[in-house]
Structure formats: C-alpha cells, structure tokens
Chain A
Amino acid sequence: MRAEHAISIRYFTLLGIFVAAIIAFTLHAIEMPNHLQRPEFLTGYVMFGLMLLVALLNVRKKLSMVPIGRAAYWLAGHAFFGVMLIGLYFVHTQTIWPEGGYERAFAMMVYLVTASGLAGYALQRISPRRLAAADLEIIYERIPAELAEVRRKVQAIVLESTKESGADTLGRHYLESLSWYFRRPRFFVPHLFGLQAGQHWIRFQVQTIERYLSAAERAQLTKIEGLALYKDKIDLHYALQSVMKYWLLIHVPLAAALLALMFWHIIAVNVYAR
C-alpha cells in the first residue's frame, strides 16, 4: 500500500496547490477592475504559459535520455495543470459558452481536450487493473501472432477430430460459427465495458454442438473451449490495450488544434488591442 499511498500524497499535494492557486488567482482577477486593471490579459497569458507547460509532456517523452525529472511527475503536472486550465478559462472568459464563432470553437476545443484528457486518465487508471486480473500478459504487437497460433491449434484439433471420428460435425460447426470467432479479435465493445459477451458466446456454441458429438469428439471440443477462453483473454487485452494506446489519437490532435487556435487568439488580441 505504501507506493499508492506515496502517489496519493503527491497527487493531493498537487491538488492542494492547484486549489490554492486558482482561489488566489481568481480573487486577484476579480479585484483587478477595482484598480482600473483588465484581468483578461493576465489570465490569458497565464493560460498561454500553462498550455505550453502542459504540452511539454510530449517533448519530455522524446527526451528520455536526459535527466529532466521523472515522467510520472510530468504526467501528474500535466493532469493537474490541464484541469486548472478549465478553471482559468472560466475566469478568463467569465462564461461557459461565449458569443461568436471563433470563441465558441475555442471553447469547444477547451472542453473536448479536457474531456478527452480526463477520459484517458480514467482509462489508464482502470484498464491496467482489469488486464492484471485477466491472468494473462501479452505484448500488444504479439497479439496477431498469438491469435494465429490459437487458430492453428484449433484447426489442428478439428482436423484430428474429423480424421479420428469420421464425422464432420465439429468441422462443420467450426466452418459455420467458430471460425468467425477465431479469425480476429472479437467482442471489442463488450470487453471495453467489462461485459462477458465473449464467454457467453463460447458457452452457447459449446452447448449448441455438444449434443451431437461422441465422447471422443466432446474431449476435443473441451480442448477447443479452453483455447476459446484463452482467446477471450487475448481479446480483452486487445480491446483495452487498443483503447489505452489510441485515445491519444483523439486527445493529441485536439490539443494541437487548441494550441493553434490559442496562437491565433493571441495574435488577434494583440493586433486589435492597439
């Protein structure tokens, strides 16, 4: 428990700093008009600085050969400053949904980037535990090869069964139904949501064919069922590892678009402020 405890302390410390900073900053921004100052420039440039800081996580990943702090601290900072940006955005715009097309596009990007970031963060906290509980560990890139190996084994069992029994019952069922399952990863969405659709499907297939098989063929079917359940675990890995890898394909382009909008916003504000 000590490691998680240490991580929690770190996160709560950062959270405390985040809350304190946003309260102090908001109070200051509210107070500024009373001193005939415009808070928008201050809040805007603070947001600009924070956005660049948050975007630096990607640079940190490319610079793993130099000691510039542990990536875990960078990620924690990325998450907390990212959330802080939403608060700053409200202080900066003083609205949830601004007027004007450009401003609305900007707001939409802020919300989408934050939402995709939070979703990714949640995914990365939940999915590893589900994978660890699957009692199988497989490298993502190895999944196609492993599936091919499982398929080869199943086909060998089916062929052997057909040869030994002289009946094509199992072979026919394989061609009609089972081959669909063993062809590629299946039940992607159910696996994402923790549903047991894959296992249910396997049970249904076994029950469907079992009554037509001899004792020897049933023994072969049991072997196929074992391999199918093994593949179900691979499918779970495929689904969760895919999502853990590819959610960044949503978050990063959105963040890049937000940065582009931000730069344009700064140029426009400075040009029209004169």
Chain B
Amino acid sequence: MARPQRWDAPFGPEMTDTDVERLLTLPEIAAIERGKFPNHTPLVGVIKNDSRLVRFEAGDIVVREGDYGNSAFLVVTGKLRVVLAPKLPRELIGRQSSRRKGLLEALSQIWTNRVIPEVRDTQRYTDQKLRGSATDLARSQVFLQDVPAVLVDHKTAELGPGTLFGELAALGRVPRTATIFAEEGAELLEIRWQGLRELRKYDAGWRRKIDERYRQNALKVALRESPLFQGLNETELQEVANATLFETYGSFDWHVSYKRMREQGKAEQEPVIAREGEYPDGVLMIRAGFARVAAKMGNGQRTLTYLGAGDTFGIDELWAGRDGTDVSLQTSLIALGYVDVLRVPAPILEKFVFPKMKAPPAPLIERAGRPLTEDAPMEWAVEQRFINGTKSMLIDLNLCVRCDDCVRACASTHGGNPRFIRHGPTFDHWMVANACMHCADPVCMIGCPTGAIHRSISRGAVVINDTTCIGCGTCANSCPYNNIRLVEIRDVGGRPIRDPDSQKPILKATKCDLCETNPGGPACVRACPHDALRRVDFRSGDIFRSLG
C-alpha cells in the first residue's frame, strides 16, 4: 500500500481543473502570490483539494449562529444576508424549542411510554423545512421558506461576491456568531480549515485580512476577560492587542487520531507549544482547546495540570525574571488536540502588565512535589481527553451495585430507550460511562448539515432536534467518545419507518440530553440509590480528590 498523502481525500471530489482555473481568476485569489507557497503545498493544490464549490438556493441557511464549523466561505456569485437583529427564531434555523415538562406531564410518561422503543409521531416530520439530497444526506439544507418576510422583520446586511466569512469560527474553533442565508441563488467557495491555515500561513494578504478581523472582533474581548489584563485601560489594551501573535497547534480533526488511540491503545505524539528549559519570549494564553502543563519525569512527561480557554502559561517564569535574570521554563506546555494560542510578547508584559500586576500564585512546578498516585486519576482523565467534558458521567465503582437503576431511569424519561451505556473506560475505581459529556469543544457539532445538533439556550447542553435530524451520522462519526447512537425509528403503530424509495430504515441520532425537557435534572443521577453516579466537569478543580 502506498503511503497515504495529505490530499488523498479532497474536500470536494467533484472539483474540476476548470473550476480551479475559474477560481484562480477571482480577485481575492488572483491577488495571492503563488510563488510564496512551497512546492509540496501549491496554491492550486490548496484550492483544488482543500476547498469546494457549494451552491445555495434562495432561503438556504449557509451558517447558523451557535454552530461549530471547520470551514470558511468566499462568496463567488450571488447575494447572501447576514442577520443582525433581531435574531431568527430558533425553530426557523432548525433548532429545538425545548420546553420543560410539568410535573404531571413528566409523570404521564408512565403510561404514555410505549413498550416498543423509539416510537415517533411521523406527523411532525412532514412540515420540516429541509431541502433534501437523496444521494448525499450531508448536503441536505435547512431553508427559510419566506425570505421577503425575514428581510422585513429582521435587520440584515448584504454579503456580495468577494466576501469572506466564517474564518474566525473555523480557525478559532468557536461558535458562529451570526446566521447567514442566501437571498438568491449563490455559489460559494467553501475552504476547509487546513486550506485556510495554508492561505493564512503563506499569503500575507490573507493573513493580514484574517488577523485584522480577529483583532477587531474578538481579541480585545478575549484579553479583557483574562485576569492578567484586567488592570489595563483601553489604550494599553489596544497596545497589547496590536502586539499579540496568533498561533495554532495540533490537528483540528484531533478526534480522528484520538479514536485511533483508543482503539489501538497508542497515543500519538502531541505537539509541544513551549518546552521545559527554553526561555519564554512571552506569555501564552489559551484561546480555544486544551493543553497540558507537564514536567519531565523519568522517560516521560508528568501532567501537573491542564489549561483551557482563558488560562495562561509562562507567567511564573516571566515574573521571576522581570528584574533581568534569565529564568527558563520550568514546565512544558503540550497541545491536547487542537489548541488556539495567543502569544503576548514579554516586552509588552513588562511595559503594561507587570507594573499593575500582583505576584502570581504558587508556580505550577510546585505541583511536581505531590505524590504520583495523587495525580494518577487526573493524568488518566487528561490522556483520555475527558477534560473536554463538562457533564461527564463519572461512576464510583466502589459504590455502584450495578443495579442499572440509572439506565432504567434514563429509558423511562426517553421513550423507553436509554441514552447511554453503563460501560466505559475505567481507572482505579472510577468509570467514565458512555454518556454524552456535553463537551467544551463539541466536535460532534461540526458538519451537521441541518443544525439539528446544537447547544440548548437554557442549560448549554448539547442536544439534538429530532425533527430536523436526518440521520446522516456525521455527529456520531465525529464524537471522539462514541457517545452518539443512531437508532431506527418506528411509527405510532410500532412499525419500522422506511424510506419509500430505498426501503432503508429511517435513522435518528440519539444521545444524552441531560434530561433537558424533564423536571429535576438528569434522571440517572437522581435514580442512583448509592450516590455512585455524578455528572462532573473535569475542568472544575480536581474532581477525583473532591469525590474521594
């Protein structure tokens, strides 16, 4: 077998050389200096393999506010509209309007739950606003039926040919900030994050454009939220923002290599952001993703803690060396999956931040003095990437009597079929069960063609709108922890529902929704008679130590 190459699986296999030639004449692409691209990654290759042409009809939603995406869009032809205010109703963009059941309604599930699980009233699927694709489910679109009414009722702005959008969400792995729909038939060039990264890396124009937008839109907000920069006034903050560098580490598709690691038991080399022993040239601030702080230990790296969005690294050493003494990094910072980092140069810190800053708390390296066994569960949670979860199902096996009351409680609140499996990776007497962890970085939400999987407004849980889910399996395939399941649905008579053309069963993605619509929170937690089951956020301190 030949060694797999980067572009073996192009983003849009249907892209032709003619398409590429045409795209190269677009002013935004024609302005790119092809000579700056290395031979192994030519511009033509990036356009052909890391982008694809997508067509939208009037009313098609291109991106939805709150969605996660891994691509940006360049308008080639046609007109789009970005919704400014008021926001489009959630139902209109394919979201679920989650209403919490009353006590009696919840109780009525005793007699309304059917013996056969996964029964659906098919009537509610008939009025869904989906423009389907029989051959490629992932290309199905949610669309707005009455575009003129939307234009009247909502303040919108036009996006014409040459407009680039979605690049900050794609590179920064943050939710889309606005909904954009096609006002008329439009052709867009969709560039996946790998291509976008190359364009930013090799072309000064694109880099300037993307960085300027980030500086304008998000950087100052990110800096202001950090305790490190809170004493700074507007002018000083602007100075810091102007000097800040953007960096990304790791793979956007980290879940793919992570799944491989779980299957084969072999961890891949994680990219080192800052290495122990080197001199820090600035403080690193995590903007998105996770990184672990590690110290050399024998032949390995011992995890001391992990950092998430807003956390900083390197401040201990820079603070200690502010009088001019050279202090090298005491620990390494290693990317866990995809990490988006801001680097604030040391001279800027010395000029604006240190004069107003109090001494930082105890240096992270002091944690290396703790016994290894104390940190072992945390090391495991980091290795398994459970730190991504905000509501992971943690079971204390010393207390769990394996009665499955939690499973039955889940089934009774979800139409007779549980939304998790009481099984999963174990360490010592802890188990993280196969239940949706409602991740901080929800890779399952990337690529959902209809926006059916989304964060609920009420509690921030990742939920699936059953009405707009088309059962394409994108979310289930993306979930690094295998916590999403596709189920075959049945009609109210208990008969399997099949597609009339292909006779294939209709599937729906299902997962734990934290009992979003049920009163009282997750039924699994309430149902455990031995307090063995908790929903935990691994990022909120040392969970294992607090639980015992």
Contacts and interface: CB of A to CB of B under 8 A. Distances in A.
Interface of A: 1-5, 7, 61-67, 69-72, 74-75, 124, 127-129, 131-132, 137, 139-140, 241, 244-245
B482 interface: no
Nearest to A6: B531
Contacts of A61: 405, 408, 527
B532 to A, nearest CB: 8
Given A67-B526, A71-B528, A139-B422, 16 more contacts: A2-B548, A61-B527, A63-B107, A64-B409, A65-B109, A70-B525, A70-B526, A71-B526, A74-B529, A128-B399, A128-B400, A129-B429, A132-B398, A137-B423, A139-B402, A244-B403
Contact of B412 (A7, A65, A70, A71): A65
A2 B546 contact: yes
Contacts of A124: 401, 530
Nearest to B530: A72
B530 A75 contact: yes
Contacts of A139: 402, 422-423
Which residue, A2, A64, A71, A137, has most C-beta atoms of chain B within 10 A? A64
Contact of A65 (B401, B405, B518, B528): B518
B529 A72 contact: yes
A64 B413 contact: yes
Contact of B523 (A65, A69, A127, A131): A65
A63 B527 CA distance: 9
Given A65-B412, A67-B526, A128 B548 contact: no
Contact of B527 (A71, A127, A131): A71
Nearest to B430: A132
B519 A66 contact: yes
Contacts of B474: none
A4 B521 CA distance: 23
Interface string B416-456: 00000011001011010000000000000000000000000
Contacts of A74: 529
A65 to B, nearest CB: 5
A75 B405 CA distance: 13
B205 interface: no
B420 to A, nearest CB: 12
B408 A3 contact: no
B110 interface: yes
B407 to A, nearest CB: 10
A254 to B, nearest CB: 19
A124 B398 CA distance: 10
B309 interface: no
B149 interface: no
A183 to B, nearest CB: 24
A99 to B, nearest CB: 39
A2 B547 contact: yes
B412 A64 contact: yes
- Main SS at interface, chain A: helix
Nearest to B103: A66
B526 A128 contact: no
B397 interface: yes
Interface string B536-548: 0000000000111
B396 interface: yes
A2 B106 CA distance: 33
A137 B431 contact: yes
A32 to B, nearest CB: 37
A26 to B, nearest CB: 30
Interface residues of B, number: 40
B70 to A, nearest CB: 35
B520 interface: yes
Contact of A5 (B397, B399, B521, B548): B548
Nearest to A123: B401
A90 to B, nearest CB: 28
Given A2-B548, A71-B526, A128 B398 contact: yes
Given A64-B408, A65-B409, A7 B531 contact: yes
Contacts of B399: 128
Given A4-B548, A132-B398, A71 B405 contact: yes
A63 B111 CA distance: 11
Interface string B19-49: 0000000000000000000000000000000
A65 B110 contact: yes
Given A64-B413, A67-B520, A244 B401 contact: yes
A128 B401 contact: yes
Which of B426, B529, B548 gathers most chain A CB within 10 Å? B529
A18 B103 CA distance: 32
Given A71-B527, A71-B528, A137-B431, A128 B403 contact: no
B529 A67 contact: no
Contacts of A62: 110
Interface in B388-404: 396-403
Given A131-B402, A132-B398, A139-B423, A65 B529 contact: no
A4 B548 CA distance: 7
Contacts of A75: 529-530
Contacts of A69: 526
Interface string B281-318: 00000000000000000000000000000000000000
B394 to A, nearest CB: 11
B110 A63 contact: yes
A245 B520 CA distance: 27
Contacts of B405: 61, 64, 71
Nearest to B422: A139
A67 B431 CA distance: 25
A235 to B, nearest CB: 15
Contacts of B547: 2-3
Contact of A128 (B397, B426, B521): B397
Contact of B398 (A2, A66, A129, A241): A129
Interface centre among B429, B431, B521 (most CB of A within 10 A): B429
A138 B429 CA distance: 14
Nearest to A140: B402
Contacts of A140: 402
A127 B396 CA distance: 13
Contacts of B397: 128, 131-132, 137
Contacts of A66: 103, 106-107, 519-520
